[in-house]
Amino acid sequence: MIMPTATGGIAQQTADSHDAEKNIFSDESRGEGEHRAGDGERRSNNDPRHSKQPRQNNQPRRDKRDVHGWVILDKPIGMTSTHAVAVLKRLFQAKRAGHAGTLDPLASGGLPIALGEATKTVPFVMDGRKRYRFTVAWGEERDTDDTEGRVTRTSELRPQADAIRALLPRFTGLIEQIPPQYSAIKVQGERAYDLARDGETVELKPRPVEIHELTLVEHEDTGRSVFEAECGKGTYVRALARDIGRILGCFGHICALRRTLVGPFRETDMIPLEELEALCNRAASGEGSLADALLPVETALDDIPALAVTRADAARLHRGQAVLLRGRDAPNSSGTVYVTVAGRLLALAEIGNGELIPKRVFNLTGLTASPGRSNERV
């Protein structure tokens, strides 16, 4: 088990969110969940939450519509996750939207954005594995553990590739990790990054995280190393860079970060913002459909068994009523399943004591993913 010593740590740029606090953006709820997001996101002075921006040219408010599905944005560097959700919500004119795991403005890559009924499946994505490709600059430790921070320690030492590789097994598997000082973890009701900005040093306790894989991809003579990590929720990639640098005695901080996997969503699922905007323009002129950018709601449920029911049973489940499971085709398992009727997602339900009990019922009336999108991922 690794218990790194505590010093600085910063920006909220971690690998994942340790608990799925609310991050759904509807007309009534527009603030970001500010959940612990591993290498997630810190507050920005440009955050639209902190200022009301009037509509330009007194343009009328566009009618919102029901849109259901996932868009996996290839988030550009410099954009906050909050702003990304707002942009996609506007492009799709969607009533509801939220993201599944914050990504820091300094990071690029996969930001899964749930629209409409897909917001009900956000926890299943946030609990999944994340994969990152990141670059560590050696010789400086910063209070944010990334390039935005103030330099707190320096060293003339530069590590050898063999020394780095020899150390990586100590950071693989179940380890204990002290979160960065600049993180969204709450300390006596206050966010750690707010306390850090006020000049306070807080004692953050080590917490268990799981690193499934950590590899050295490239080692440069310029004093930088490129890594890939696959990890579970709650992992802070910035803390990995900080702790490896301390043990090697050369110090280090992250200078580049890209997320390449989030739960079931791969890099091939990602869509650049420019491509989405171009598709939106084509759709407005009748030359395409925004449905082509959506992945089905059930894509987030890839790891959950599916159970098909009859239309009669579907009607009961839709009313929130349990269904008795009987006959030779009745499943003998228990736990969570997603229920379909005639190939269409109906509900999330629990099997127990011979009953199918609905927990979340989906209403997919409106714009949904094009029929071919599911087959594209096979």
Q: How many whole angstroms from its chain centre is CA 327?
A: 41
Q: What pLDDT is recorded for position 56?
A: 52
Q: Render the burial of 39-51: b for 16+ CB within 10 Å, e for the rest.
A: bbbbbbeebeeee
Q: What is the DSSP string of 221-269?
A: TTSEEEEEEEE-TT--HHHHHHHHHHHHTS-EEEEEEEEEEETTB-GGG
3-state secondary structure of 102: coil
Which has the closest alpha carbon to 8: 106, 139, 145, 207? 145
Check if 104 is active-site: yes
Q: What pLDDT is recorded for position 181?
A: 78
Write out pLDDT tens, residues 37-54.
Answer: 344 444 444 443 334 445
The kind and range of the H/E element at 378 are: none
Q: How deeply is 55 buried, as exposed, middle or buried, from its count of CB atoms within 10 A (0-12, 13-18, 19+)? A: exposed
* Cα separation, 21 vs 30, whole angstroms: 14
Residue bearing tokens 């890939």: 228
Alpha helix (H) ranges present in 99-191? Answer: 122-126, 161-167
Compute the half-sphere exposure of residue 146: CA atoms within 13 Å on the CB side of its CA.
Answer: 25
Average pLDDT over residues 95-118: 94
- Pairing between β-strand 190-191 and β-strand 355-361 as defined by DSSP bridges: unpaired
Band (pLDDT 50/70/90 cuts) for residue 189 is confident
- Pairing between β-strand 323-324 and β-strand 186-187 as defined by DSSP bridges: unpaired
The two three-digit tokens of residue 252, written as one number: 């280090």
Compute the half-sphere exposure of residue 334: CA atoms within 13 Å on the CB side of its CA.
Answer: 4
- Predicted TM-score of the model (pTM): 0.80
How high does pLDDT run on average in the chain?
83
* Cα separation, 208 vs 49, whole angstroms: 32
The kind and range of the H/E element at 56 are: none
Q: What pLDDT is recorded for position 321?
A: 94
Q: How deeply is 15 buried, as exposed, middle or buried, from its count of CB atoms within 10 A (0-12, 13-18, 19+)? A: buried
Band (pLDDT 50/70/90 cuts) for residue 118 is very high
Choose the catalytic residue: 16, 74, 104, 143: 104
* Cα separation, 103 vs 101, whole angstroms: 7
Is a pLDDT exceeding 60 seen at residue 69?
yes
Average pLDDT over residues 335-362: 93
Q: What pLDDT is recorded for position 333?
A: 74
